[in-house]
Amino acid sequence: MELVERLLNGDKRAAAKLISLVENEDREAAEVLRELYQHTGNTHIVGITGPPGVGKSSLVYELTKVLRKKGKKVGIVAIDPTSRFTGGAILGDRIRMTELSTDEGVFMRSMGTRGHHGGIAKATTEAAIVLDAMGMDVVFVETVGAGQSQSMIWECVHTSILVEMPGMGDEIQALKAGILEIGDIFVVNKGDMEGTDQLVKELESVAEYKAMEQEWKPPVHVTIATEGKGTDEVVSSIEDHLEYLKESGEYQKREEERTKGEFTRIVQDLLLKKAFAGERSKKFDQLLKEIIEKKTDPFTAAEKLLEE
């Protein structure tokens, strides 16, 4: 396929077209992904996650600038919830990103999830395949939101960065026990705000706790992303973490987990497509009607549908 050839030569417009094709689940999508897959395995996939408003986009922007100075090629994927009314992805405040968009060594893309279950994982995986094949050294995957999204992203990346900021209120405290578990690197952004020292201390105690369960102790960095402060150190930690993963054998383990998740999702997609196609689809609609009319329940109906 010509687009694939162009992508392998680093053509950004080809990348944009291929991601759209994959995103829209065009008929060629599976074929393209299959072709690209053999060219993957060389990218460091880094997830950036944290509550809204902590400055994830600014941070990604500054980290990208640091990596570019080191000659690294960088892909950026921002995963946004999809608008139900307009059908388009929300772009956020990415005006400052325009500077990067003219750089041949940077590719940026905002992707929607269409509210699909597992949409974040699917979008991340597929974009990563395209950008990996394109030859990007690092791919940042930025997710808006917390909770569910964060644990999903965890399964799709090599290194995860959790971004927090001071003064986010009590709920953050409550979330910490669960959500902080996914960070390989902690960043306190807006580090000139009151409460920074306290938050750093708390994150360090979480890091200590994690160090009891694994060899890698997550470093805690303070940044002021909008001024580019502290970002060199974060990039060093990203590189250190990759080195740790490779030396400890953890890289291979995460790759296998990532691949398993990917394979499971693909099998699941294909199964569902087959299950809801043709005659089955008619039967599905008929059973749905019976459930709505309370003539049966969805559990019995599901068994009936799959028996045939």
- What is the rounded distance in angstroms from the CA atom of residue 129 to the CA atom of residue 258? 12
In sequence order, which residues have a C-beta less than 8 Å from that of residue 199 and are 6 or more positions away?
164, 165, 166, 188
In this chain, which of 174, 193, 211, 277 binds a second copy, going by CB under 8 A?
174
Among residues 90 and 201, whose Cβ is nearest to a second copy? 90
In the complex, least distance from residue 25 CB atom to a second copy, rounded to whole angstroms: 13
Query: Structure tokens of 21?
Result: 């094709």
- What is the rounded distance in angstroms from the CA atom of residue 244 to the CA atom of residue 128? 21
Does residue 211 touch a second copy according to CB under 8 A? no
SS3 assignment, position 39: coil
In sequence order, which residues have a C-beta less than 8 Å from that of residue 73 and are 6 or more positions away?
10, 105, 106, 135, 136, 137, 138
In the complex, least distance from residue 153 CB atom to a second copy, rounded to whole angstroms: 10
Query: CB under 8 A: which stretch of 1-9, 67-75, 83-91, 243-251 binds a second copy?
Result: 83-91
SS3 assignment, position 10: coil
Query: Structure tokens of 207?
Result: 């890091």
In this chain, which of 25, 103, 151, 239 binds a second copy, going by CB under 8 A?
151
Q: Taken in order 97, 129, 121, 212, is the CA torsion positive or negative?
A: negative
Does residue 300 touch a second copy according to CB under 8 A? yes
Does residue 278 touch a second copy according to CB under 8 A? no
Between the CA atoms of 221, 223, 225 and 231, what dihedral angle is there, to the nearest 10 degrees? -50
Does residue 195 touch a second copy according to CB under 8 A? no
Query: Structure tokens of 100?
Result: 């990067």
Query: CB under 8 A: which stretch of 4-12, 101-109, 242-250, 255-263 binds a second copy?
Result: 255-263
Q: What is the number of alpha carbons within 13 Å of residue 176 lying toward its C-beta?
A: 20
Among residues 118 and 135, whose Cβ is nearest to a second copy? 118
Does residue 179 touch a second copy according to CB under 8 A? yes
Size of the chain in residues: 308
In the complex, least distance from residue 171 CB atom to a second copy, rounded to whole angstroms: 4
Does residue 95 touch a second copy according to CB under 8 A? no
Does residue 242 touch a second copy according to CB under 8 A? no
In this chain, which of 101, 255, 277, 281 binds a second copy, going by CB under 8 A?
255
In this chain, which of 246, 263, 281, 286 binds a second copy, going by CB under 8 A?
263
**Any idea which residue has 């920074």 for tokens?**
196
Per-residue contact flags (x/-) with a second copy for residues 21 to 60, judged by CB under 8 A: ---------x--xx--xx--x---------xxxx--x---
Nearest CA to 221 among 63, 100, 11? 63
Does residue 268 touch a second copy according to CB under 8 A? yes
